[in-house]
Amino acid sequence: MTIIFGFLAGMMLVSALGVVLSRNVVHSALFMSGSFLAVVGFFVMLSAPALAAFQLLIYVGAVSVVILFGIMFTQSPQVRSFSTIVNKQVWAGLAVALGVGGFLSYILATEDWGATEAGQGTRDVAAFGEYLLGVGPDSEIFAMLFQLVAILLFVAVIAAIVISRRKDTDIESASDVRDVGE
Amino acid sequence: MPGPIQTVAETLNSQIPLEGFLIVAAVMFAIGAWGAVIRRNAVVVFMCVEIMINAVNLTLVAFADFLPDAGGIGASYAALIIAIAAAEVAVGLAIVLAIFRSRRTVNIDEVNSMRG
């Protein structure tokens, strides 16, 4: 257990640092996939195998690919020096992040959580599905939350299409830019 | 009196306490927050926000596994958070693409006006 935990924690934190400090944006995206993979391992350790499968499919699969598409559309493939990828707040931001991380770690470590014991989550995928649909015991609120999330996803997909749709004026202005460049 | 090898083996096989997961998630959240503050590239800022969301999700699943009264329902909340984060990525990248199309840059230090 300790070896697996150490491996996953190291992979997750090193990958997260790689996202922040990598000069190449594509490397950042691949480091992000590694970080999400480590979270998948943690979910398996925490007896949530169905959620681990969701995480693998949605984050490591879909979100990484969507972000790589975003990089493909917006980036020029040059490696910049470190000072051009970060703004002036790098040390102030580090101090704030260390403060936030230290404060959260202190609070979470010193709080008395009562009788905690591993393995109390449900490994049963059928029970997980019943909780998610609001038919399980003590989970009636999910009958509403599930439909709210469905509506939210619907609205978000429409919003993404509306925002990123290429308008006729954009095409004209883009060709103007190209003419000026030539 | 167990030998040192036995002690090491017991330590390696012992259960990880709840605080271990919580602290790893907190450190991951801090790294994501650092990146979201210092990076200039809007797409990388999105990645850092995703890392922060994942850290919160990990905290939630750890609580659902360790607290006796949670009853495993926390994992269902985590599934909802994954869905909402996916929606956020879709809308956010659409906004980044729209900004790139009108300004030819994704550097968020240069994008300081709401005017299209």
| Residue B52 near chain A (CB below 8 Å) | no
pLDDT at A39: 93
The reply to whether A70 and A128 lie within a common domain is: no
Contacts with B1 (C-beta within 8 Å, 6 or more apart), sequence order: none
Q: What is the DSSP track for A28-47?
A: HHHHHHHHHHHHHHHHHHTT
Find the domain containing B79 and state its range.
17-103
What pLDDT shows up at residue A182? Answer: 41
DSSP H helices in chain A: 2-21, 25-45, 49-55, 64-74, 82-85, 90-110, 125-133, 141-164, 168-181
pTM recorded for the entire structure: 0.86
Closest alpha carbon within chain B to A147: B80
* Whole-number CA gyration radius for chain A: 22
Identify the CATH number of the domain in which residue B85 sits: 1.10.287.3510
Ramachandran bin of A78, using left for φ above 0, alpha for ψ from -120 to 50, beta for the remaining angles: beta
- Give the model confidence (pLDDT) of B26-65 as tens digits: 999 999 999 999 888 888 999 999 999 999 999 999 988 8
Taking 80 as the threshold, does the pLDDT of residue B80 lie above it? yes
Give domain status of residue A93, yes or no.
no
Q: Are residues A7 and A67 in the same domain?
A: yes
Q: Best mutation site among B10, B31, B57 for testing chain A: the one with the most A CBs within 10 Å?
A: B31
SS3 of residue B57 by DSSP: helix
Asked if residue A104 lies in contact with residue B30, where contact means CB atoms within 8 angstroms, the answer is yes
> How far does Cα B74 stand from its chain's mean position?
16
Answer whether A43 touches B (CB < 8 Å).
yes
Residues in A touching B84 (Cβ below 8 Å)? 149, 152
Dihedrals phi, psi of A86, to nearest 5 degrees = -115, 155
List the 159-178 stretch of A: residues with Cβ below 8 A of B.
159-161, 163-164, 166, 170, 173-174, 177
Cα A72-A78-A83 angle, rounded to 5 deg: 115
Residue ending a domain, among A17, A45, A77, is A77
CATH code, domain with A59: 1.20.120.1200
Task: Look up the ipTM and state it.
Answer: 0.86
Residue B22, min C-alpha distance to chain A (Å): 7
Spatial separation of the C-alpha atoms in residues B25 and B23, rounded to whole Å: 5
Q: Is residue A103 part of a domain?
A: no
CB contact at 8 A, A122 and B75? yes
In a domain, B6, yes or no: no
Number of independent structural domains in chain B: 1
CB B76 within 8 A of CB A139: yes
**Using an 8 Å Cβ cutoff, are A91 and B115 in contact?**
no
Residue A89 lies in a domain: no
pLDDT tens sequence for chain A (182 residues) = 788 899 999 999 999 999 998 888 889 999 999 999 999 999 998 888 888 999 999 999 899 998 998 888 887 656 667 777 777 788 888 999 999 999 999 998 888 887 777 777 777 888 888 888 888 777 788 889 999 999 999 999 999 989 888 776 655 555 555 554 44
Q: What is the DSSP string of B11-27?
A: HHHSPPPHHHHHHHHHH
pLDDT at B89 over 60: yes
| Closest alpha carbon to B64 in B53, B77, B49 | B77
Q: Output the six-digit token pair for A126.
A: 């059928």
Tell me what percent of chain B is helix, strand and coil, each rounded to the nearest 5. Answer: 75, 5, 25
Q: Are residues A64 and A130 both part of a single domain?
A: no
Nearest-CA neighbor of B74 among B66, A115, A173? B66
Pick B58's closest partner by Cβ from A32, A42, A142. Answer: A42
Alpha carbon separation from A110 to A104, B22, B26, B60 (Å, rounded): 10, 11, 14, 18
Q: Does A141 touch chain B (CB under 8 A)?
A: no
Answer whether residue A107 is part of any domain: no
Whole-angstrom distance, CA of residue A174 vs CA of residue A14: 40
State how far residue A63 is from chain B, nearest Cα, in angstroms.
Answer: 7
Which pLDDT score, from 0 to 100, does residue A76 have?
Answer: 66
Q: Does A139 touch chain B (CB under 8 A)?
A: yes
CB contact under 8 A, A1 and B15: yes
* pLDDT of B55: 94
Do residues A21 and B45 make contact, with C-beta atoms less than 8 angstroms apart? no
Range of the domain at A133: 124-182
Residue B35 counted as domain residue: yes
Looking at residue A18, its pLDDT comes to 92
**Tally of domains within chain A:** 2
